[in-house]
Amino acid sequence: MAEETIFSKIIRKEIPADIVYQDEWVTAFRDINPQAPTHILIVPNKLIPTVNDVTAEDEQVLGHLFVVAAKVAQNEGVAENGYRLLVNCGSHGGQEVYHLHMHLLGGRRLGPMVVRK
């Protein structure tokens, strides 16, 4: 059984977060440490630790993340100029919270996708 993270508590509203959207499948809330004027995390309500743990059963909820991303982008006013959707996986991917989530970043030009070394 995967261990819960702070995101499960946010989803259950046991700890505060600025939730911008919630339905039976996913919850979207503002990142506590925003990297862009708009920085929202779109999280499946079900705990899936990383992309490595995804199974065929998760297809519906993971597809729904994109539907919600489009909706949230519209609501936030970033749809027209564009934005970036990002999913980190594991330590090389820079994942900090082991509850799969999609970052929606927008509101400014985001620059190159990966920092060159």
Summarize as ranges the residues that interact with ligand 5GP (CB under 6 A).
6, 17, 29-33, 41, 88, 94-97
Classified as helix, coil or strand, 86 is strand
Query: Which amino acid is residue 70, in one-letter code?
Result: A
Supply the minimum distance, in Å, between the C-beta of residue 42 and ligand 5GP. Answer: 11
Taking the mean position of all CA atoms in its chain, how far away is CA 61? 13
Write the DSSP symbol of residue 61. H
- Nearest distance, CB of residue 37 and ligand 5GP, angstroms: 14
The distance of closest approach from Cβ of residue 70 to ligand 5GP in the complex, given in angstroms and rounded to an integer, is 20
Q: In this structure, what is the dihedral angle of CA atoms 34, 39, 44, 46, given to the nearest 10 degrees?
A: 10
Name the residue nearer to ligand 5GP (CB basis): 41 or 73: 41
Tell me whether residue 101 is one of the annotated catalytic residues. yes
Catalytic residues: 101
